[in-house]
Structure 1
Amino acid sequence: AGYGSLRNHVLGATLVTGDGRVLRLGGKVVKNVAGYDLLRPVVGGRGRLGILTSVCLRAFPLPAHERVLVLKGAKLKSLIEPALLAGTAPVLPVSIVVVGQLSALGGNSALILRLHGAESTVNADQSAIEKHLGISLDRLAGEEADGCLTEVRDRGGLEPRCVEVSVLPSRLSEVVAAADEVGVAKAVIDSYAGRLRMGSDDMSADAVSALRGVVESLGGALRVARWDCVTRPQDTSCRDAELQLSRRLESIFDPSGVLWPAR
């Protein structure tokens, strides 16, 4: 939450388009400029707009102090509301995630908040968040904190089948309620961004298709990030306006279609 997505930290790039043009976008420092923002569509283009030959990223110093705060819960759904409330606190944590059945926490689900900064700043931030939530949060430290964060990082990234959902944060509870058969009990949820990732060894294509229908009815999208057999469920299709815009961009950057990954 606090740092934002990767595309916000790409300061500059060199791009070779499908017809051989070399475009130098952005620069090496953060500054306000006029004109079109081409870096973000390039970052999200998955190689459709050109080949990146160099990238300049904004880096952050290692924090002087890191604190991991936890609110445990028996059920994943019960933690969605406090997670959403944490996103409206006077201070924004580095990350706000809800994770199901963490072995590092004895199999409990948990809301996990991370704070960075000087120790005095972190103390003040924790007090402000706890006052905003109306509850006290437990601290994790040392190996317990490292094990918990490693498990959160890898959740959904190691299983042979993985789906990702993007929806308005206010609709996350409805998605969780509809996703029992897709392994939501072990999901990791970025409540601030409205993203949910679920991995499983045996989730069925029919269950994923049913969940996709629910997600789309809520105005969201589902993407199959990984699937280990032929009967792969479909992703949410782009809306007509989005598809037309994408095709217009591709026709400008890659007129002959030589960069389309599926060809």
Structure 2
Amino acid sequence: MQPSAPQDASSFSASPDELIETVRSAATARQRRRIAGAGTKAFLFPSQADDRPVLDARAWSGIVSHEPTELVVTVKAGTPLHELDAALSAHQQYLPFDPPRYAEGGTVGGGVAAGLAGPARASVGGARDYVLGAQFIDGRGQWMTFGGQVMKNVAGYDVSRALVGSRGQLGLITDISLKVLPLPPAETTLVFELDQARALQQLHVWGGQPLPINASRWEGGEVPRLHVRLRGAVAAVEAATQRMCGDAAGQVVANEAAQRDWAQCRDHQLAFFRTAGPEMSLWRLSVPQTAAAMDLPYAQLIEWQGAQRWLWAPAASSEAIRSATHAVRGHAQLFRAGVGGDQGVPREDAVPPAVAAITRRLREAFDPHGIFAPMQD
């Protein structure tokens, strides 16, 4: 499914003044608003009708500053991810957490607000690890600044990082400063024919060795395969290739094909993500990397050296899926509902009381009138 752009959205010029005034008016009238960009991650929200007017700030776009020698870039939140990628690539730099783009048009602000990361998350960290500072408009219509452009600017509670994964429930992100890194000198992808249990075991063994493993992906099927991406110094990648292929009879994948496949994995365009029946829902399981193979009768794709596991199953299978996930001290998310919707199944596991309390206090501090609160609140 390709999400469409938000309907009945309020469009804004290349100035935040209109956004600020709109939020202030909504706060005065106690009218809720929904923040949205291109709508590429709209499926993350519950299926209940949401008729709140949309704040669409995609016109607030562009790169504010880029200091290649300082490894930092500041962009307006409406900037398309592909534009930022191109600007960084021109200086041989990139965003290591590689935010997913499930459809065309995804923005930097949307990527940060969703808090998602690509295949290298287990090796390089997530979005929160690369956000240095942010500006956003809170539920009172105040334009606020937190953090800066260097890590040492952090003092007290780091609100700029709290915005990561907030899904627009604290306010509207307008500007973001991100740490970037140089592109690695060498990259190689290896493929091994291994079943799930053997693949996980081998990843655990390699994880205890000084190998430049950047990402992994295991897929079942008629011939189950484990893909491992190596990144780093030329000598380190070459030595790791020789050792790992000797350990498990692996083969090198052509770089062009491998890079295409990793991008498709990140954006859920691989066959695994496109061939399930319409009644099936996509589940995301977050478990310890060392968790063994899980006995679930559904197709799976495993990333993050075992820590992130995707599977297709009906929404009604929630109890069995969550029971198996909790047994290995993980949690489950109904990531993308099938045509029947989520059928009233909770999209997320229950939040621990301490986390819920912190979230509630943050929302009360930055959005006391619930202008950006979800419809079900």
Q: What TM-score does the superposition give when structure 2 sets the normalisation length?
A: 0.58
After TM superposition, give the deviation of residue 209 of structure 1 in Å.
2.7
Which one of the candidate residues 116, 139, 142 is aligned to 1:18? Answer: 139
* TM-aligned CA distance change 1:147 to 1:46, over 3 Å: closer
In structure 2, the partner of 1:251 is: 364
Higher relative contact order (CA 8 A, sep 6+): 1
State the distance in 2 between where 1:57 and 1:172 align. Answer: 35
CA contact (8 A) 2:244 2:250 kept: yes
* TM-aligned CA distance change 1:232 to 1:78, over 3 Å: farther
In structure 2, the partner of 1:261 is: 374
State the distance in 2 between where 1:172 and 1:6 align. Answer: 27
Q: What TM-score does the superposition give when structure 1 sets the normalisation length?
A: 0.80
In structure 1, the partner of 2:305 is: 191
What secondary structure sits across from 1:66 in the alignment?
strand
* TM-aligned CA distance change 1:34 to 1:142, over 3 Å: closer
Equivalent AA in structure 1 for residue 363 of structure 2: E
In structure 2, the partner of 1:165 is: 285
Equivalent AA in structure 2 for residue 183 of structure 1: A
In structure 1, the partner of 2:90 is: none
Equivalent AA in structure 1 for residue 302 of structure 2: V
State the distance in 1 between where 2:255 and 2:353 align. Answer: 50
In structure 2, the partner of 1:61 is: 182
State the distance in 2 between where 1:113 and 1:140 align. Answer: 10
Identity within the alignment, %: 27
CA RMSD of aligned residues (A): 2.6
CA contact (8 A) 1:71 1:110 kept: yes
In structure 2, the partner of 1:113 is: 228
What secondary structure sits across from 1:170 in the alignment?
coil
* TM-aligned CA distance change 1:250 to 1:171, over 3 Å: same
CA contact (8 A) 1:172 1:191 kept: no
In structure 2, the partner of 1:221 is: 331
In structure 2, the partner of 1:104 is: none
In structure 2, the partner of 1:207 is: 317
State the distance in 2 between where 1:66 and 1:244 align. Answer: 43
After TM superposition, give the deviation of residue 164 of structure 1 in Å.
0.4
* TM-aligned CA distance change 1:23 to 1:150, over 3 Å: closer
After TM superposition, give the deviation of residue 142 of structure 1 in Å.
4.1
After TM superposition, give the deviation of residue 122 of structure 1 in Å.
1.6
